[in-house]
Amino acid sequence: MSTSIRQQKVSSQIQRIVATVLQRDIADPRVDGLVSVTRVEVTKDLREAKVYLSVLAAKRPDATVIEGIKSAGRHIQSEVAKNLAMRFAPHLHFFLDESLKKQAEILKTISEVNAEAEGRGANAPPAAD
């Protein structure tokens, strides 16, 4: 699926606006931890936008954080409409993106394996030539 330059520009603007709103305006107690807008996909007709969010270091389950964001959806939608230079702002839909969390887990596992290998290397007898 190829996206037009217009779709890319609108996606980028929405991503920036939503990130700013999440950082400044959301006071819902369910929204905690580090919430990042990982990507935004806009339909060809620019009427709908899927906003993918990553949640890290939250005290509550990720689904609860996303529900808190969805309940603030009208406010986020109005901020996007106000700050987007378009006649109609796309309708926003929020989704949990677990890719960053999976990447962090993979990097942690790699680092643990490397540390374990280094530990074994220090205790191993010297190689005979």
pLDDT in tens, 13-57: 999 999 999 988 888 888 888 888 999 999 999 999 999 998 887
Residue 116 lies in a domain: no
Residue 92 lies in a domain: yes
- pTM, two decimal places: 0.77
pLDDT of residue 59: 86
> Dihedrals φ, ψ of 43, to 5°?
-70, 160
Q: What tokens does 87 get? A: 């006649």
- Name the residue range of residue 61's domain: 5-98
Whether 87 has a pLDDT exceeding 60, the answer reads yes
Whether 108 has a pLDDT exceeding 80, the answer reads yes
Residue 128 lies in a domain: no
Residue 66 lies in a domain: yes
Domain of 56, CATH number, reads 3.30.300.20
Number of domains in the chain: 1
pLDDT of residue 90: 95
Contact 22, 72 (CB under 8 A): no
